[in-house]
Amino acid sequence: MSKPIPDDLPLHPAAVGQLHMLKPSDETPLFRAIGQEMSASLEQLLTLADSGYDISAALKDLAQCATEVDTSASEIQQLGAQLDVARDTYTRESKDCTPASVDTWNSYCSGELSTPSLATIMASASASEGQPSGSRKSSALGPEGKLLRMLPLLWADPRAVIPDEDADSDDVVIDGGHIELTCPITCKMYVKPMISKSCQHVFDYDGIREYIGDNGSRSCPQAGCSKTLTMRDFAPDPVMALRCRLATIQEHQASAGTASQQLDVL
């Protein structure tokens, strides 16, 4: 005996519009807000570190959270792209089916006539098909995301070279396998590091400002770089700022450690 209700029926023309309204909710504002919260937490941790607290484990947790949030965000994004593919495939395949009517109902119940199932198509819409191009570039957490994910690496070594996630940006100046935390112009540790958007070279604000002068343009002071730069080419470099902050904290902790050790000896 055949079933009273078919498992699937062809898509009714009136339902096409509703089908096209199906999409995952946009969580971008939520993720951005989380990114800001996490940055605030990082700031609190750094302040605690200034007072001598060991923040290693907390930094690791924060980075882990950032990675997890980013994974969820890209899963949602992928789901949306997968849904787009599935919806188009389903609409197209459904169009060729015999319309459901009183006359065809029994044939659909018995399986004599069949129609694609949205659920099956959705499940089989491959991840690669659904992958939107360029989606992995930026973090869902906003500008803070990349920084947050790097935390454990930078804490372990503020001068560590970070494996580059974006192929087209070549991050910061690399010298003998580590990042210099000293401005090539001022020859001091960065106070307000600025990164050139056109060549990615980093200089301290005061140094580059004096070098370029008011409203002027000059060739990049980095040896071997031929870019002509104006102050407008520069933006604050949060990664370098964090590197310097972590390095300073570690130097303070190291000298405080030495001091207390000396005290113990006395």
Q: Tell me: does residue 201 bind Zn ion (CB under 5 A).
A: yes
Which residues neighbour 57 within 8 Å (Cβ) at sequence distance 6 or greater? none
How far apart CA 116 and CA 95 sit, in angstroms, is: 10
What is the smallest separation between the CB atom of 162 and Zn ion, expressed in angstroms?
A: 19
Name the β-bridge partners of 52.
Answer: none
What is the smallest separation between the CB atom of 218 and Zn ion, expressed in angstroms?
A: 11
Looking at beta carbons only, is 87 or 201 nearer to Zn ion?
Answer: 201
How far apart CA 77 and CA 68 sit, in angstroms, is: 14
What is the smallest separation between the CB atom of 221 and Zn ion, expressed in angstroms?
A: 8
Q: Tell me: does residue 207 bind Zn ion (CB under 5 A).
A: no
**Nearest-10 crossing angle of helices 144-156, 56-95:** 140
Looking at beta carbons only, is 199 or 231 nearer to Zn ion?
Answer: 199
# of chain residues touching Zn ion (CB under 5 A): 6
What is the smallest separation between the CB atom of 243 and Zn ion, expressed in angstroms?
A: 19
Q: Tell me: does residue 222 bind Zn ion (CB under 5 A).
A: yes
Q: Which two tokens stand for residue 34?
A: 């989380």
| Whether 169 contacts 188, CB under 8 Å | no
| Whether 109 contacts 5, CB under 8 Å | yes
How far apart CA 53 and CA 110 sit, in angstroms, is: 71
Q: Tell me: does residue 185 bind Zn ion (CB under 5 A).
A: no
Looking at beta carbons only, is 229 or 242 nearer to Zn ion?
Answer: 229
DSSP code per residue over 193-254: EEEETTT--EEEHHHHHHHH-TT--EE-SSTT---EE-GGGEEE-HHHHHHHHHHHHHHHHH
Tell which one of 19, 199, 231, 241 touches Zn ion (CB under 5 A). Answer: 199
SS3 257: helix
What is the smallest separation between the CB atom of 185 and Zn ion, expressed in angstroms?
A: 12
What is the smallest separation between the CB atom of 228 and Zn ion, expressed in angstroms?
A: 10
Looking at beta carbons only, is 201 or 245 nearer to Zn ion?
Answer: 201
Residue among 66, 52, 121, 128 nearest 90 (CA)? 121
Of 23-31, 100-108, 214-222, 258-266: span binding Zn ion (CB under 5 A): 214-222
Q: Tell me: does residue 171 bind Zn ion (CB under 5 A).
A: no
For residue 254, count other CB atoms closer than 10 A to its CB.
10
Looking at beta carbons only, is 153 or 199 nearer to Zn ion?
Answer: 199
Q: Tell me: does residue 220 bind Zn ion (CB under 5 A).
A: yes
What is the smallest separation between the CB atom of 222 and Zn ion, expressed in angstroms?
A: 4
Q: Tell me: does residue 225 bind Zn ion (CB under 5 A).
A: yes
Looking at beta carbons only, is 77 or 222 nearer to Zn ion?
Answer: 222
Interface residues toward Zn ion, by CB under 5 A: 199, 201, 220, 222, 225, 227
